[in-house]
């Protein structure tokens, strides 16, 4: 059994395609998925998908690429996170690749999410792009190690992975690890201890090989796990077992019997 720890099933790419997606999950041994929120306006759609499916979870947060969202405060996030299907806060973090200029608002919003996660006692889903140094600094300044969480769609160096793991965070690998040219990331996927690792699709983005360039879906997390198993010279079952256990430990929910 595998878990897709990060996908966006509320995106328009998937409208009316959900039944087929759930069938494909079953066929590929993907038992659960976490539907990650990126805006508060989009949250009702994320929640209604999670409410309708026993094996789906949800998260609450505003993605750093969404500049024009209304300001959010800790209280509001904590209140929204009380929904029974919400297991994490995010995605949040810093993105200096997509957006440039004065990104003080992005850092402030990231701090608000960390404070909300601590107050709500729910793990953080952190997105970081071209901003590892500031991301780690803010995590430390805000005491993110009190709550932990995941560095999602990890593309940074081993040093960054080590620093995030020292703060109690998991490292989540996406389809990027299956790409031929992702040489440095493959090495990180060899080094990160199995008990600190998660797998994800970030669907509809970043489809793994052999579907690179197509619309991604939770079932394809299997290819991510297979690629990691191959890199480490272990079985797919070992990767599935470890990453699924890690996921349920992170969200503090009882793992369903298999
Ligand atoms: Zn992201
Ligand atoms: Zn995402």
> Do the beta carbons of residue 232 and residue 199 sit within 8 Å?
no
Rounded (5°) CA angle 42-5-121: 75
Q: Enter the tokens of residue 250.
A: 């992170």
> Do the beta carbons of residue 200 and residue 152 sit within 8 Å?
yes
Q: How many beta carbons lie within 10 A of that of residue 157, not counting itself?
A: 14
Ligand 2 centroid–CA 6 distance in Å is 6
Ligand 1 centroid–CA 118 distance in Å is 20
The CA distance from 93 to 132, in Å, is 10
> Could you say which ligand is closest to the alpha carbon of residue 153?
1
Ligand 1 centroid–CA 39 distance in Å is 12
The CA distance from 34 to 120, in Å, is 18
Q: How many beta carbons lie within 10 A of that of residue 16, not counting itself?
A: 6
Quote the pLDDT of residue 256.
64
The CA distance from 131 to 127, in Å, is 10
The CA distance from 146 to 140, in Å, is 10
The CA distance from 105 to 140, in Å, is 18
Ligand 2 centroid–CA 52 distance in Å is 21
Ligand 2 centroid–CA 130 distance in Å is 16
Quote the pLDDT of residue 228.
98
- Distances in Å between the Cα of 44 and the Cα atoms of 50, 78, 80, 175 are 10, 16, 10, 27
Strand segments, DSSP code E, in the chain are: 2-7, 30-35, 56-60, 86-95, 124-129, 149-151, 169-173, 197-199
Mean pLDDT split into 10-residue runs, the chain, 258 residues: 97 92 98 98 97 97 95 96 98 96 96 98 98 98 98 98 98 98 98 98 97 97 98 98 98 75
Ligand 1 centroid–CA 240 distance in Å is 22
> Could you say which ligand is closest to the alpha carbon of residue 5?
2
């Amino acid at each position: 059994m595998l878990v897709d720890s990060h996908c966006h099933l509320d995106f328009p790419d998937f409208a009316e395609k959900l039944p087929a997606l759930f069938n494909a999950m079953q066929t590929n041994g993907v038992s659960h998925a976490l539907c990650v929120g990126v805006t508060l306006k989009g949250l009702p759609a994320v929640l209604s998908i999670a409410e309708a499916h026993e094996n789906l979870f949800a998260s609450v947060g505003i993605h750093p690429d969404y500049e024009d969202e209304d300001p959010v405060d800790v209280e509001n996030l904590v209140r929204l996170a009380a929904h029974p299907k919400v297991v994490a806060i995010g995605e949040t973090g810093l993105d200096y690749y997509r957006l440039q200029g004065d990104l003080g608002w992005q850092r402030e919003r990231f701090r608000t999410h960390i404070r909300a996660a601590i107050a709500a006692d729910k793990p953080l889903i952190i997105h970081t792009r071209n901003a590892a140094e500031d991301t780690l600094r803010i995590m430390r300044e805000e005491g993110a190690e009190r709550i932990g969480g995941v560095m999602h769609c990890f593309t940074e160096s081993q040093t960054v992975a080590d620093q995030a793991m020292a703060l109690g965070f998991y490292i989540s690998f996406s389809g990027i690890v299956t790409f031929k040219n992702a040489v440095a990331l493959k090495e990180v996927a060899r080094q990160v201890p199995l008990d600190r690792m998660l797998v994800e699709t970030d669907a509809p983005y970043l489809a793994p090989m052999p579907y690179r360039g197509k619309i991604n879906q939770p079932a394809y997390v299997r290819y991510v796990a297979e690629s990691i198993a191959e890199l480490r010279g272990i079985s797919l079952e070992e990767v599935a077992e470890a990453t699924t256990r890690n996921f349920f430990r992170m969200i503090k929910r009882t793992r369903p019997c298999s």
